[in-house]
Chain A
Amino acid sequence: MSRPFTPKVVTANDLLIGDVIYQTVDDGWTRDLAKAEILTDEADAQLRLLHAERQHTRLVGAYLADVNEGPDGPLPAHFREAFRASGPSNHNHGKQERTSHV
């Protein structure tokens, strides 16, 4: 029996900057995981991934990442995705740098 499909987001790295981006409902890209489109249907997720992979002048290495549904949007399900969504733990760099300036 195949495992039940768990919620996902489409994520990649920005081609120019290299930082982590997530696909949004309106076909755009956000740097904030909480604003990403949550995909709960497997077929839909595959189509959304294909759509991302076609944008090769915008991004690199699109894939589906597991998330948990939180009250304010998707939350990382694995510690690797948690680091991608925030930044390294030894310097206040990456996404956490921007949010800490707000």
Chain B
Amino acid sequence: MYEYTEFDHAFLTQRNTQFRAQVARRLDGSLSEEEFRPLRLMNGLYLQLHAYMLRVAVPYGTLSSKQIRKLAEISERWDKGYGHFTTRQNMQFNWPALRDVPDIMDALASAGMHAVQTSGNTIRNVTADPFAGAAADEVADPRHLAELIRQWSTDHPEFQFLGRKFKIAVTGSPHDRAVIRTNDIGLRVVERDGARGVQVFVGGGLGRTPLVAQEIRDFLPLDDLLPYLESILTVYNRLGRRDNKWKARIKILVQEHGIARIRELVEEEFPQRRATYAPDIVARQLELVAARFAQPVLKSAPTDPFTQAYDSDPVFRSWSDTNLAAHRDPDHAIVTISLKAHGATPGDVSADQMRLLADLAERYAHSELRVSPEQNVILPHVHKSDLPALHAALKLAGLGTANIGLASDIVACPGMDYCSLATARSIPVAQQIAERVDALKLEHDIGALKIRISGCINACGHHHVGHIGILGLDRAGVENYQITLGGDGSENTTIGARTGRGFAHDEIVPAIERLVHAYLDLRSDAEETFLQTLHRLGADPFKAALYPQTAIAAE
């Protein structure tokens, strides 16, 4: 865990005092809504369909037991007793009252948390691999870079009024769990000839124009990181389009000018930016940041209790097979706790569950938790001998669902149930698909299948990178759901392709069921995944299952 410095604490206190005064001026009428809106957005406060919504930053998805307890307390004192984890690893409260928000901010600050730059046209909260610091395949912990970027970008005067929001994601592994290439800038820590550097991608994004970020630098020395990021942002700030909101992201700039030209412009800018930094200062700062991440001292013990439970308890075995990932230490495991019990709202977590997660993290996982971009919670360092007891406690609280990476582990945005931008609901679609999949008792047979649902074209549910993507739209005053196939959010980032006409709200679950049955019929054997079958056969046999009427007419 990163431990705040005095500077971090002082900054938050000052920022919260400033925001408290801004809220007071809005309430007494000194500020109009037009004046107040950008100020509240800079602090993560939206006005949604039924209420205000506060988006709390969970920088690079890392939380301590103390912090998640504080979130539980806030949810009970000022909200409705739950929070919602988003696809950018943040937590949203759906029901705060405006007059309470300054107090909520102070409560957050007391646990080293804030809502700064979780909205607005600034550099947003940096996301990272949720397995950071624990993954077996990791080159280096990406959170050190993410924290350095957080410090550099927070309140950076040059980048507070960008043409549009700007998202950065970092991974330290070859296997991408942070969907870095759907970000404005994606960074991957790599090693070359014994030296550590960063592979830099630019111009990714989902939304109305989904694009996969392209490589702009194959190896950037760590000491050049901040001046290089500044160079990219300067080119974007100078040339990015401000005339049209839909063309304002850097992905459009890269698309319009081509990656070669953007690279040229960035490299032209770079020497001037580099000259403003003393040699080695970024590398040294990075070392200071890394030193503030307390490393857990992993315990050493026999793993027999795990092996015994695995061999004797089929429920534990099933959970272990789906919810555990390889830790860098073979006696430890990375545990993903599913927030996708069949029929639950993806990403929702109650105050009681938050407190339980805090206790379990304290007892078994060095008081450390992670939020995944797939809206689950991760305990990154659990000794294998502790897994049976951990699983038993989770199961008792309804958090033992064994479905990570399976058909019911659905990612969904809040959709029309909460969001003022949404054009259709997404939560009930996710709930109904998960319940149907559970009723069919097929999901372990189906295997790896990522279903992702967005309630509008802005694609917060990442439907473009779902193996099956669902996009909810408003067609002449009725909810309508389009399907995309073949999206992939891994290191082989791919945007899914639309299948054809959309489906009504009561048609979408049967349509997904037809797709799943088609896959089971078409796969070469039980080892071939949905995505592999789709790649081997193309979309046509799946379309035939989706649109049986059209298929018959064509015969």
Bound Cα distance from A90 to B418, whole angstroms = 10
Is B76's CB within 8 Å of the partner chain A? no
Is A57's CB within 8 Å of the partner chain B? yes
Residues of B within 8 A of A28 (CB): none
Q: Which residues in chain B, 90-111, are within 8 Å of chain A measured between CB atoms?
A: 94-99
Q: Are B51 and A17 in contact (CB under 8 A)?
A: yes
Convert B465-489 into 0s and 1s, putting 1 for each residue whose CB lies closer than 8 angstroms to a CB of A.
0000000001001110000000000
Q: Are B98 and A88 in contact (CB under 8 A)?
A: no
Q: Among A20, A90, A93, A95, which residue has its beta carbon within 8 angstroms of that of B428? A: A90
Is A7's CB within 8 Å of the partner chain B? no
Residues of A within 8 A of B29 (CB): 56-57
Convert A87-99 into 0s and 1s, putting 1 for each residue whose CB lies closer than 8 angstroms to a CB of B.
1111101110000
Bound Cα distance from A5 to B195, whole angstroms = 69
Residues of B within 8 A of A1 (CB): none
Convert A45-85 into 0s and 1s, putting 1 for each residue whose CB lies closer than 8 angstroms to a CB of B.
00000000000110011000000000000000111100110
Residues of A within 8 A of B427 (CB): 88-90
Q: Are B50 and A20 in contact (CB under 8 A)?
A: yes
Listed residue (A13, A18, A83, A91) with the most chain B CB atoms within 10 angstroms of its CB: A18
Knowing A78-B477, A88-B417, the reply to whether A16 touches B97 (Cβ < 8 A) is: yes
Q: Are B416 and A79 in contact (CB under 8 A)?
A: yes
Listed residue (A56, A57, A88) with the most chain B CB atoms within 10 angstroms of its CB: A88
Q: Are A61 and B47 in contact (CB under 8 A)?
A: yes
Bound Cα distance from A18 to B26, whole angstroms = 13
Q: Are A19 and B479 in contact (CB under 8 A)?
A: no
Residue of A whose beta carbon sits closest to that of B53: A18
Is B32's CB within 8 Å of the partner chain A? yes
Q: Are B47 and A18 in contact (CB under 8 A)?
A: yes
Is B270's CB within 8 Å of the partner chain A? no
Is B385's CB within 8 Å of the partner chain A? no
Bound Cα distance from A16 to B416, whole angstroms = 22
Residues of B within 8 A of A79 (CB): 416, 474, 477-479
Bound Cα distance from A87 to B49, whole angstroms = 9
Residues of A within 8 A of B51 (CB): 13, 17-19, 94
Q: Among B28, B47, B417, which residue has its beta carbon within 8 angstroms of that of A60? A: B47
Residues of B within 8 A of A60 (CB): 33, 47
Q: Among A61, A88, A91, which residue has its beta carbon within 8 angstroms of that of B33? A: A61
In the complex, what's the smallest C-beta–C-beta distance from B502 to chain A, in angstroms? 15
Q: Are A94 and B428 in contact (CB under 8 A)?
A: no
Is B219's CB within 8 Å of the partner chain A? no
Chain A's interface size range is 20 to 34
Residue of A whose beta carbon sits closest to that of B96: A18
Knowing A79-B416, A89-B427, A90-B431, the reply to whether A18 touches B50 (Cβ < 8 A) is: yes
In the complex, what's the smallest C-beta–C-beta distance from A93 to chain B, in angstroms? 6
Residues of B within 8 A of A89 (CB): 417, 425, 427-428
Convert B23-49 into 0s and 1s, putting 1 for each residue whose CB lies closer than 8 angstroms to a CB of A.
000111100110000000000000111
Q: Are A18 and B52 in contact (CB under 8 A)?
A: yes
Is A25's CB within 8 Å of the partner chain B? no
Q: Are A84 and B49 in contact (CB under 8 A)?
A: yes
In the complex, what's the smallest C-beta–C-beta distance from A90 to chain B, in angstroms? 5
Residues of A within 8 A of B96 (CB): 18
Bound Cα distance from A83 to B419, whole angstroms = 11
Q: Are B47 and A90 in contact (CB under 8 A)?
A: no
Convert A1-25 into 0s and 1s, putting 1 for each residue whose CB lies closer than 8 angstroms to a CB of B.
0000000000001011111100000
Is B80's CB within 8 Å of the partner chain A? yes
Knowing A61-B47, A79-B477, the reply to whether A56 touches B33 (Cβ < 8 A) is: yes
Residue of A whose beta carbon sits closest to that of B423: A80
Query: Which 10 pairs show the lowest CB-CB distances between chains A and B?
Result: A88-B417, A18-B52, A18-B51, A57-B29, A94-B50, A90-B345, A90-B427, A17-B97, A60-B33, A89-B428
9 contacts between A and B (CB under 8 A): A16-B97, A79-B416, A79-B474, A87-B50, A88-B417, A88-B418, A89-B425, A90-B431, A94-B50
